[in-house]
């Protein structure tokens, strides 16, 4: 499959999602892949709602990009979800502002408060959601399907870029002048919260800069894998 065929197949996937499920939601983490999907959605005129999770700990470059979206995509319906302020204040009061460095459980609890619970609110009442996940991104994503029922959230989940390579993402961004996070130009392929994201070296796994102090098997935030609670 050449580049144009892959792009056409992706457009077909998005239109097929719309035909089957109507105005579903697209999760935009403000990373490169999600910006590609946001751009495709806008160009195709699809009525998908786009939502972002503002964890309160995002890098300033991410907020800069978020600030540009309404101007660049005026027709887009953009929603931002925030952590529950009371629950977060109680947890930070008990464990401290940077507790996530002190163990996987504390890290996952922070991700739960700042990402997983707000995501559940963003997906409530929806029939399907779309993500920019790709198989190439990490060992935890190598078997990623284009679509599957998301048991954790009780709705369909689509990954229309599952077969894209990193070069495909950046070719699209350049050719379509898609706005992107300035941190990508500083060797950050995967961007999350500021204290949990760092630049990677040449040849490292694309998600090596996320939670670098943990084992690869635990390096998901709970948005895309089930985290045991309790
Ligand atoms: S990525 Fe880090 S700061 Fe952000 S929610 Fe997870 S543990 Fe907390």
**Are 35 and 5 a contacting pair, CB within 8 Å?**
no
Is 228's pLDDT higher than 50? no
- Distance (Å, whole) CA 158 – CA 139: 19
Indicate which residue's Cα is closest to atom 3 of ligand 1: 193
For the Cβ of 29 lying below 6 angstroms from any atom of ligand 1, the answer is: no
Indicate which residue's Cα is closest to atom 5 of ligand 1: 111
Distance 194 CA to ligand 1 centre (A): 8
Is 211's pLDDT higher than 90? no
**Main-chain dihedrals φ then ψ at residue 150, nearest 5 degrees:** -90, 100
Indicate which residue's Cα is closest to atom 6 of ligand 1: 111
For the Cβ of 192 lying below 6 angstroms from any atom of ligand 1, the answer is: yes
What the block records as the tokens of 95 is: 């464990």
Q: Enumerate the domain spans of the chain.
A: 3-218
Distance 125 CA to ligand 1 centre (A): 26
Which atom in ligand 1 lies closest to the alpha carbon of residue 57?
3
**DSSP H or E segment with residue 85:** helix 85-95
Mean per-residue pLDDT, 66-85 = 97
Distance 29 CA to ligand 1 centre (A): 13
Mean per-residue pLDDT, 188-203 = 86
Is 222's pLDDT higher than 80? no
Q: In what order do the strands lie in the sheet with 128-130?
A: 77-81, 49-53, 25-27, 128-130, 155-158, 147-150
Comparing CA positions, the residue from 53, 65, 64, 66 lying closest to residue 25 is: 53
**Annotation marks residue 221 as catalytic:** yes
Mean per-residue pLDDT, 190-216 = 80
Distance 43 CA to ligand 1 centre (A): 32
Mean per-residue pLDDT, 141-167 = 94
Q: What is the mean pLDDT of the chain?
A: 91
Fold designation for 3-218: Rossmann fold (3.40.50)
Whole-model pTM over 0.85 = yes
Residue 201: other Cβ atoms inside 10 A: 8
pLDDT at 217: 67
Per-residue pLDDT tens over the stretch 86-123: 999 999 999 999 999 999 999 999 999 999 999 999 99
């Amino acid at each position: 499959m050449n580049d144009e065929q892959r792009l056409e197949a992706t457009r077909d996937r998005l239109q097929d999602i719309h035909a089957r499920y109507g105005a579903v939601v697209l999760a935009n983490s403000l990373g490169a892949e999600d910006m590609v999907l946001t751009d495709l959605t806008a160009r195709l005129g699809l009525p998908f709602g786009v939502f972002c999770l503002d964890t309160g700990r995002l890098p300033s470059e991410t907020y800069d990009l978020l600030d540009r979206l309404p101007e660049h995509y005026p027709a887009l319906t953009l929603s931002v979800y925030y952590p529950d302020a009371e629950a977060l204040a109680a947890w930070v009061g008990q464990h401290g502002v940077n507790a996530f460095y002190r163990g996987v459980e504390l890290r996952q609890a922070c991700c739960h408060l700042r990402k997983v619970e707000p995501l559940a609110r963003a997906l409530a009442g929806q029939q399907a959601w779309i993500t920019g996940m790709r198989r190439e991104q990490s060992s935890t994503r190598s078997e990623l399907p284009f679509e599957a029922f998301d048991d954790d959230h009780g709705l369909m989940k689509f990954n229309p870029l599952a077969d894209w390579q990193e070069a495909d993402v950046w070719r699209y961004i350049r050719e379509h002048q898609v706005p992107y996070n300035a941190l990508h130009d500083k060797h950050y392929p995967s961007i999350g919260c500021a204290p949990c994201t760092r630049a990677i070296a040449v040849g490292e796994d694309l998600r090596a800069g996320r939670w670098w102090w943990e084992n690869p098997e635990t390096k998901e935030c709970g948005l895309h894998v089930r985290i045991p609670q309790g």
